[in-house]
Structure 1
Amino acid sequence: MRDEPNQLDRTERLQVRLQGLTREHRDLDDAISALEQTGRADMLTLRRLKKQKLGLKDQIARIEDELYPDIIA
């Protein structure tokens, strides 16, 4: 029973982290869209932002896998 509160704390920390990463990913998506719509976007900046967004997506996927593991019946 001692591990249960520790696991709950970890789960809560992961959920908070997931929310933050998701918000950051959405903000980057909005920024990329805004830059692309101007038609004068710096390609290097766009590439950097897209790479950063992809890294966030990977982090989100890892946390989601830990929080919600696939259970094969």
Structure 2
Amino acid sequence: MPSVPPRRPGWGPAAMRAVRQDRALDRIRALHAPVKHGRRTICGHCSAYDGERPTTPAVRYPCPTIRAIDEPDD
């Protein structure tokens, strides 16, 4: 588990929480990384990609998880 950066002058609890949230989002993006499968790009995690093929129905990238993180609410 990555450590939280040392407290800096002017960094309150909200700034520290923002750093932890950014790191959590980076871990989610890494988990839901795109994988090239044939001519399509799929989510390796959602598609349960085993290195050769998806073991469940392939989910196109960006998957719902990545879209929920990256796309603004309408």
TM-score bracket for the superposition, by shorter chain length: 0.3 to 0.5
In the superposition, the TM-score normalised over structure 1's length comes to 0.45
In the superposition, the TM-score normalised over structure 2's length comes to 0.44
Of the two structures, which has the highest relative contact order with CA contacts closer than 8 Å and spacing of 6 or more? Answer: 1
Identify, as 1 or 2, the structure richer in helix.
1
